[in-house]
């Protein structure tokens, strides 16, 4: 099969930190174009936006959307209507209805849509999933606490409606938990802390329950300075299973089992090549559904204003 000719849309932090290197390292896909209002790459065809790119005559087979979630729907829709395969950064969109509309459109157009969850590609996730399928899970506790000033300097969109606030990282934890849990679960309570001057929460405390009565609690907070915490602790009938460092380390019954280098984005592009090659899509929107529920059932608490 010839290599997929790919365009990146939105050449910002994650595109530069992860996508460019991962594309370079993946067989079967080549970067041929960029669409970004304020950024360009030497030696690559560059356009200010996806519409100009699609009208340019430059041949692309697929686009990878690395823009913020607000506005992503229009870009994805334009690409799908032009017959391009589409890879979506997380979260896949700003609303639930729009992502299901994209899924239906991709199917109608006969192209692949890949809603990516990079945290699911962390080294400990699949081993944890396998282990938990063989044990009885008693409870799950998620702690996802980081310093927003360090990780999102100057990013105004994350504080706007649709930017998700602390759920921008929190949805990564939910993408892991929805993958490793042996049964599905639903939200039962949500406390959201909104800075007085912002439209998105800076912290969230959630409780979920599975049909079988497993309690899942999650504490997300963007105000943590010093050491950062991205941990998921699962209590089982045979002892604790703990994922730390965002899912890249696994500790089983107190013993470290997996400590691996990050291959998340290389795995994602490898999977995208496979999906396009086999004419399939991968669209699990369950983490976004849980986040939407957190807003729907959320009690709004107003906290101290946040300044960058
Ligand atoms: P970012 O640094 O703000 O980059 C996004 C780029 O999209 C901008 O540089 C901008 O480039 C373009 N853009 C188009 N419309 C925009 C708009 N209305 N507002 C702002 N930028 C717009 O954001 P990012 O951190 O790369 O995040 C992008 C997506 O990747 C998000 O969904 C995020 O959750 C996800 N992600 C981020 C990280 C991370 O560590 N940062 C990790 C994993 C996933 P032009 O101005 O040139 O158009």
215 is catalytic: no
Q: What's the rounded mean pLDDT across residues 152-180?
A: 97
- The predicted structure's pLDDT at residue 61: 98
> Does the pLDDT value for residue 260 go beyond 80?
no
**Which candidate in 13, 84, 90, 145 is catalytic?**
90
What's the gap in Å between 12 CA and the centre of ligand 1? Answer: 5
Cα distance between residue 11 and residue 85, in whole Å: 18
- The predicted structure's pLDDT at residue 258: 79
CA of 70, closest atom in ligand 1: 18
What's the gap in Å between 89 CA and the centre of ligand 1? Answer: 9
- The predicted structure's pLDDT at residue 1: 80
Q: Whose CA is nearest to atom 39 of ligand 1?
A: 14
Q: CATH classification of 122-260+292-303, choosing from 1.10.10.10, 3.30.360.10, 3.40.50.970, 3.40.1190.20?
A: 3.30.360.10
Q: CATH classification of 4-115, choosing from 3.90.220.20, 3.40.50.720, 3.30.365.10, 1.10.3720.10?
A: 3.40.50.720
Q: What is the pLDDT of residues 117-133, one digit of tens each?
A: 999 999 999 999 999 99
Strands (E), 215-279: 215-221, 229-236, 239-244, 249-252, 255-259
> Does the pLDDT value for residue 262 go beyond 90?
no
Whether the domain at 4-115 and the domain at 122-260+292-303 fall into the same CATH topology: no
- Write down the domain spans for the chain: 4-115, 122-260+292-303
- The predicted structure's pLDDT at residue 246: 92
Buried-state track 221-253, b at ≥16 Cβ within 10 A, e below 16: bbbbeeebbbbbbbbbeeeebbbbbbbbbbbbe
Task: Flag whether the pTM goes above 0.95.
Answer: yes
Q: What is the pLDDT of residues 168-178, one digit of tens each?
A: 999 999 999 99
What's the gap in Å between 264 CA and the centre of ligand 1? Answer: 18
Q: What's the rounded mean pLDDT across residues 78-92?
A: 98
Mean pLDDT of the chain: 97
């Amino acid at each position: 099969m010839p290599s997929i000719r790919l365009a990146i849309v939105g050449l910002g932090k994650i595109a530069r930190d992860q996508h460019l290197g991962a594309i370079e390292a993946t067989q079967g896909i080549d970067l041929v174009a960029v669409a970004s209002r304020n950024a360009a790459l030497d030696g690559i065809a560059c356009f200010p936006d996806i519409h100009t790119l699609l009208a340019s005559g430059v041949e692309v087979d697929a686009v990878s959307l690395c823009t913020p979630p607000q506005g992503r729907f229009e870009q994805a829709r334009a690409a799908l209507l032009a017959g391009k395969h589409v890879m979506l950064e997380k979260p896949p969109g700003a609303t639930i209805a729009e992502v299901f509309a994209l899924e239906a459109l991709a199917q109608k157009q006969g192209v692949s849509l890949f809603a990516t969850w990079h945290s699911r590609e962390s080294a400990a996730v699949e081993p944890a999933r396998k282990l938990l399928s063989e044990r009885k899970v008693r409870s799950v506790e998620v702690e996802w606490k980081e310093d927003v000033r360090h990780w999102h300097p100057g990013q105004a969109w994350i504080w706007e409606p649709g930017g998700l606030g602390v759920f921008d990282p929190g949805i990564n934890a939910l993408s892991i938990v929805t993958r490793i849990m042996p049964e599905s679960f639903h939200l039962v309570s949500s406390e959201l802390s909104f800075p007085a001057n912002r439209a998105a929460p800076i912290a969230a405390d959630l409780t979920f329950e599975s049909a079988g009565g497993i309690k899942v609690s999650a504490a997300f907070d963007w105000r943590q300075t010093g050491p950062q915490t991205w941990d998921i602790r699962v209590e089982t009938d045979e002892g604790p299973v703990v994922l730390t460092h965002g899912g890249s380390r696994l500790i089983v019954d107190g013993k470290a089992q997996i400590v691996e280098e990050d291959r998340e984005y290389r795995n994602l592009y490898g999977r995208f090549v496979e999906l396009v090659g086999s004419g399939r899509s991968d669209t699990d929107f369950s983490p976004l559904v849980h986040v939407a529920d957190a807003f729907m059932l959320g009690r709004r608490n107003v906290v101290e204003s946040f300044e960058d």
